[in-house]
C-alpha cells in the first residue's frame, strides 16, 4: 500500500513538472488519479471489513477454549500413553551371608537381598492412560537381568461416582502405609524388616479392589480386596474362588495448615498350601518345612507430615510408623533327604505362630535438595508352636533389630542420589554394617505420588 502511495506521489510530482502541458493531458491524468483513488478506497474498505470480521470472530472465540496446536504430532501417536522409566541402581557393601534371612521368621524370600557391589537393580517401566471415559489403566513392568516381572497391571474406574473406586487386575494391596509405594518412592533404599518378614517386600495380588470414600469433611476410606492370594504368606493353590482377602480403613485430615495425618487399620487373610522353606533341625542339618494353613495379618499404620505454612518445597518433616501382628495356624511337614536329619522320615505336626513387629521412621527435608532420615525397627519372633516337630526343629526366639540412617540429594523432582547406612541385627549373632549408595532417576511423564 505504501508503495502505491509512493507511486501516486511520483505521478503527482511528474504532473506538476508537466504543468505547462495541455489541458486535455491534465484532464486525462486527473481521471486516472480519480480512478486509482476509487480503486484504493474500495480495497481499503474491503480490508477494513475483513478486519472487523476477524475481530468479532476472536471475541466470539473467547468463549471457547484456546487450543494450543501440538507441534507436528501425528494423530495416531497423540494417543500414546504416559510413559515413564525409573532407573535405580546401587552400590552396596555388607557381609556375605549365604542364606540371608530373618531369625525366627518363616523366610519370605527377599529377592536380591544378598546382592553386593554394583548393580543396576530393577528398571521400572510405567505405562498409564485413560482407556475411555469410564476406565483408566496402568502397567508397571520391573525389568532385571533375564526377567521382566509384571509388578502391577490394572484398570480402575473413573465414572462410578458416589465415592466408589473399583480396581481390577494385579495391584499392590491398599493395606498398611508403604505397601502401595514402589521402591523408587520410598525414603530408604530397602523395605522395612517388617515388610520383608511379612511379604518379602510388599503385598500384591491378582484380584479386585473396591474402595469407598465417605462423603464427610474428615477423610474416611474403606477398602476391600479379594484375589488369588498367590504371594507370600499365601501360596498359589490353583483353586476356584479367592485365595486371599483384605479389608482396611483409612482416616486422615489436616491439623491447621501445617500438619496432615493419616491412620489406618488393615486385615489380610491368606491361605498357604505346602509353603516350603529351609529350616535347621536340632541335629544342625538343613531340613525342609512345608506349611499348610491360614495366615492372618493385622496392620496398624500412621503417618504425619509437617511443613512450614504447608509448603513442603523448602522444608518438611514426615514421621511414620507401622505395626503388624500375624497369626498362622495349620500343619507343618518336616522332611529331609539327608540321612543325618531328624526329619529323614517326614514328620507332620501342628503349627501355630503369633508374631509381631514394628518400625518407625522420620525424614526431614531441610533444603529443597537435601533430606536426612532415621529409621528404627524391631520384630518379635513371638510364640512358635511346632507341635510334634518341636522335637526336630530349632525354635528360635529372637528379636531382630535394625537401625538405618540415610541422607539424599535431589537435583530436581526427577533425580535423586542416596547414601544409607544400616546396622542390621536381623540374624541372631550377626551385626551387619551395610552401606548403600543408590540413585533413582525418573524419565518421562511426571508421576504423582500418594500421600
Residue among 81 and 165 whose Cβ is closer to other proteins: 165
Which of the ranges 26-34, 228-236, 305-313, 379-387 carries the binding residues for other proteins, by CB under 8 A? 305-313
Residue among 3 and 449 whose Cβ is closer to other proteins: 449
Give the count of beta carbons closer than 10 Å to the beta carbon of residue 366.
12
Residue among 125 and 129 whose Cβ is closer to other proteins: 129
Interacting positions 79-98 with other proteins (CB under 8 A): none
Listed in order, strand segments (DSSP E) in 215-315 are 219-227, 244-255, 259-280, 286-306
How far apart are alpha carbons 373 and 361 in whole angstroms?
7
- Interface residue with other proteins among 137, 310, 330, 362 (CB under 8 A) is 310
Q: What are phi and psi of 26, to 5 degrees?
A: -60, -45
How far apart are alpha carbons 224 and 172 in whole angstroms?
13
Give residues with Cβ within 8 angstroms of 289, minimum separation 6.
Answer: 106, 276, 277, 278, 279, 332, 333, 334, 389, 393
- Interface residue with other proteins among 88, 156, 381, 389 (CB under 8 A) is 156
Rounded (5°) CA angle 445-185-444: 15
Q: In angstroms, what is the minimal distance from the CB of 309 to other proteins? A: 4
- Interface residue with other proteins among 20, 66, 78, 339 (CB under 8 A) is 66
Long-range contacts of 211-218 (CB under 8 A, 24+ apart): 211/164, 211/165, 211/166, 211/167, 211/174, 212/162, 212/163, 212/164, 212/165, 213/163, 213/165, 214/163, 215/163, 217/253, 218/251, 218/252, 218/253
Q: Mask 114-153, x = binds other proteins (CB under 8 A)?
A: ----------------x--x--x-----------------
Nearest partner of 309 among 259, 260, 258, judged by Cα:
258
How far apart are alpha carbons 280 and 386 in whole angstroms?
13
- Is position 55 an interface residue for other proteins (rule: CB under 8 A)? no
Q: In angstroms, what is the minimal distance from the CB of 365 to other proteins? A: 11
Residue among 98 and 133 whose Cβ is closer to other proteins: 133
How far apart are alpha carbons 448 and 451 in whole angstroms?
10
- Interface residue with other proteins among 319, 323, 364, 414 (CB under 8 A) is 414
As given in the structure block, the three cell numbers for residue 313 are: 518445597
Which of the ranges 162-170, 225-233, 347-355, 379-387 carries the binding residues for other proteins, by CB under 8 A? 162-170
Q: How many residues bind other proteins (CB under 8 A)?
A: 58
281: which DSSP letter? B
Give the C-alpha distances (Å, rounded to integers) separating 340 from 280, 282, 290, 343: 12, 11, 19, 9
- Interface residue with other proteins among 68, 76, 78, 339 (CB under 8 A) is 68
Q: In angstroms, what is the minimal distance from the CB of 159 to other proteins? A: 5
How far apart are alpha carbons 129 and 428 in whole angstroms?
48
Interacting positions 260-289 with other proteins (CB under 8 A): 260-262
- Interface residue with other proteins among 17, 19, 162, 238 (CB under 8 A) is 162
Whether 369 contacts 321, CB under 8 Å? no
How far apart are alpha carbons 287 and 341 in whole angstroms?
7
Dihedral over Cα of 71, 76, 78, 82: its sign: negative
Residue among 330 and 444 whose Cβ is closer to other proteins: 444
Q: In angstroms, what is the minimal distance from the CB of 161 to other proteins? A: 3
Dihedral over Cα of 133, 135, 140, 146: its sign: negative
Residue among 57 and 446 whose Cβ is closer to other proteins: 446
How far apart are alpha carbons 402 and 110 in whole angstroms?
16
Interacting positions 201-260 with other proteins (CB under 8 A): 211-221, 250-254, 257, 260
Interacting positions 313-332 with other proteins (CB under 8 A): 313-314
Residue among 72 and 76 whose Cβ is closer to other proteins: 72
Residue among 135 and 298 whose Cβ is closer to other proteins: 135
Q: Mask 350-389, x = binds other proteins (CB under 8 A)?
A: -----------------xxx--------------------
Q: In angstroms, what is the minimal distance from the CB of 176 to other proteins? A: 16
How far apart are alpha carbons 293 and 349 in whole angstroms?
12
Residue among 15 and 210 whose Cβ is closer to other proteins: 210
Q: In angstroms, what is the minimal distance from the CB of 195 to other proteins? A: 22
Residues contributing to the site for other proteins (CB under 8 A): 62-63, 65-66, 68, 71, 130, 133, 136, 156, 158-165, 211-221, 250-254, 257, 260-262, 305, 309-314, 367-369, 411-414, 446-451
Amino acid at each position: 500500500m505504501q508503495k502505491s502511495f509512493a507511486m501516486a506521489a511520483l505521478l503527482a510530482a511528474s504532473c506538476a513538472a508537466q504543468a505547462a502541458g495541455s489541458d486535455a493531458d491534465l484532464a486525462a491524468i486527473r481521471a486516472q488519479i480519480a480512478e486509482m483513488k476509487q480503486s484504493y478506497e474500495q480495497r481499503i474498505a474491503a480490508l477494513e471489513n475483513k478486519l472487523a470480521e476477524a475481530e468479532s470472530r476472536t471475541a466470539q472465540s473467547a468463549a471457547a477454549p484456546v487450543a494450543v496446536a501440538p507441534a507436528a504430532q501425528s494423530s495416531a501417536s497423540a494417543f500414546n500413553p504416559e510413559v515413564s522409566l525409573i532407573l535405580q541402581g546401587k552400590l552396596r557393601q555388607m557381609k556375605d551371608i549365604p542364606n540371608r534371612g530373618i531369625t525366627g521368621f518363616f523366610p519370605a524370600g527377599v529377592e536380591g537381598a544378598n546382592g553386593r557391589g554394583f548393580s543396576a537393580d530393577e528398571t521400572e517401566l510405567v505405562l498409564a492412560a485413560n482407556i475411555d471415559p469410564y476406565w483408566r489403566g496402568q502397567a508397571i513392568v520391573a525389568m532385571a537381568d533375564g526377567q521382566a516381572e509384571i509388578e502391577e497391571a490394572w484398570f480402575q474406574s473413573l465414572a462410578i461416582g458416589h465415592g466408589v473406586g473399583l480396581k481390577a487386575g494385579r495391584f499392590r494391596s491398599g493395606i498398611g502405609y508403604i505397601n502401595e509405594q514402589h521402591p523408587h518412592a520410598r525414603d530408604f533404599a530397602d523395605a522395612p524388616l517388617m515388610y520383608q518378614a511379612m511379604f518379602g517386600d510388599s503385598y500384591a495380588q491378582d484380584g479386585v479392589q473396591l474402595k469407598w470414600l465417605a462423603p464427610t469433611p474428615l477423610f474416611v476410606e474403606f477398602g476391600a480386596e479379594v484375589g488369588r492370594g498367590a504371594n507370600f504368606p499365601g501360596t498359589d493353590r490353583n483353586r476356584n474362588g479367592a485365595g486371599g482377602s483384605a479389608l482396611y480403613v483409612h482416616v486422615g485430615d489436616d491439623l491447621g495448615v501445617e500438619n496432615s495425618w493419616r491412620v489406618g487399620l488393615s486385615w489380610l487373610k491368606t491361605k498357604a498350601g505346602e509353603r516350603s522353606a529351609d529350616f535347621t533341625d536340632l541335629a544342625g542339618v538343613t531340613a525342609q518345612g512345608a506349611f499348610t494353613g491360614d495366615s492372618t495379618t493385622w496392620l496398624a499404620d500412621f503417618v504425619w507430615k509437617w511443613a512450614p505454612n504447608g509448603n513442603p518445597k523448602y522444608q518438611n518433616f514426615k514421621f511414620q510408623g507401622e505395626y503388624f501382628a500375624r497369626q498362622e495356624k495349620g500343619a507343618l511337614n518336616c522332611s529331609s533327604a539327608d540321612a543325618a536329619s531328624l526329619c529323614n522320615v517326614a514328620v507332620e505336626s501342628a503349627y501355630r505362630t503369633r508374631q509381631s513387629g514394628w518400625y518407625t521412621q522420620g525424614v526431614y527435608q531441610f533444603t529443597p535438595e537435601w533430606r536426612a532420615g532415621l529409621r528404627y525397627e524391631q520384630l518379635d519372633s513371638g510364640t512358635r508352636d511346632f507341635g510334634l516337630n518341636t522335637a526336630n526343629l530349632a525354635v528360635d526366639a529372637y528379636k531382630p533389630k535394625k537401625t538405618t540412617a540415610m541422607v539424599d540429594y535431589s537435583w530436581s523432582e526427577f533425580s535423586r542420589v542416596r547414601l544409607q547406612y544400616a546396622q542390621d541385627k536381623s540374624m541372631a549373632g550377626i551385626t551387619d554394617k551395610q552401606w548403600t549408595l543408590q540413585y533413582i532417576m525418573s524419565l518421562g511423564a511426571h508421576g504423582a505420588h500418594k500421600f
